[in-house]
Amino acid sequence: MPSLPLRALGAAAAALPALALAACGSPSEAEPAGSSGGTVAVVASTNVYGDIARTIGGGKVRVTSFISDPAQDPHSYEAGTRNRLALSRAGVVIENGGGYDDFMGTLLKASGSKAEILDAVRISGRTAPKGGELNEHVWYDLPSMALLADRLSAALAKADPAGAGAFTANAATFKAKLKDLEGRVAALKAAHSGEGVAITEPVPLYLLEAAGLRNATPEAFSEAIEEGDDVAPRTMRETLGLFSGKKVKALVYNAQTSGPQTEQVEKAAKDGGVAVVPVTETLPSGQDYLSWMDGTIAALGKALS
């Protein structure tokens, strides 16, 4: 079914002061973050950034992730008063930015938060291509997450100077592991550069581009799916033709926001013998950011082979 964009929910977040916090992971994450006990309170819009904060902050941070449930569609998230309370107590806030989680800006204004705000898109330096739209899904861009790690380490050190050495060391370890993943992506590029893939939404494009892969999907298809619109019949035929003619090596499928038309495309890929690589917008249960990216890269490599 079509999903609502996150940016459409900012006003709703401010207008529903009595709304309880939506289900978002473990009970501990649902509690407002505190700054007591020598820890820094960090609030993240999704558990992707919450996990990175835990990796770099270690035991010196308490993290609240607003969107944690892998079954939660990030585009239809509803925020409430407990979110604003968490923000009011935060020392550091991590948002994706770029129009992805605009409800965060609305909540920050309502909460009176004085936290240092880290906007992942701004930190990445990614901008819209000439004549095109920004791909805001920067967590699939490994170098951007390295930049975020440095900024997060600095922000935590500012909030807790005594922990600066630990934050710096943790960030360095995290970035070294990211470099290992980048090396594997570079190996995919060396072996498969120029090969075509299809997508349902632009969520994984930064990773696919880093692997040298060519997005063969009609732009009108992925735009319609991302906006929750119906795909025009001609565009749908063109998209389905990618699989019957094996014009692509894989379909990289956003499993978190599926509907009848994306399911039709997934079926066409399987019927045509084209590998399907599922991706999501939040961390799958039981994984951290690095293992998640590691698994995605492995699945992509298997599909291309």
Q: Exposure pattern of 265-289 as b/e (b: 16+ CB <10 Å)?
A: bbebbeebebbbbbbbbbbeeebeb
Diameter of the chain by CA atoms?
61
The whole-number pLDDT of residue 38 equals 84
Q: Exposure pattern of 219-249 as b/e (b: 16+ CB <10 Å)?
A: ebbbbbbbebeebeeebbebbbebbeeeebb
Q: Which domains does the chain have, with CATH numbers?
A: 6-180 (3.40.50.1980), 191-304 (3.40.50.1980)
Q: How many whole angstroms separate alpha carbon 237 and alpha carbon 233?
A: 6
Q: What is the dihedral of CA 112, 115, 121, 124, to 10 degrees?
A: 160
- Written as tens digits, the pLDDT of the chain (305 aa) is 344 344 433 434 444 333 333 333 333 343 333 445 689 999 999 999 999 999 999 999 999 999 988 777 666 777 888 999 999 999 999 999 999 998 898 899 988 899 999 999 999 999 999 888 999 999 999 999 999 999 999 999 999 999 999 999 999 999 999 999 999 999 999 999 999 999 999 999 999 999 999 999 999 999 999 888 999 999 999 999 999 888 999 999 999 888 899 999 999 999 999 999 999 999 998 999 999 999 999 999 999 99
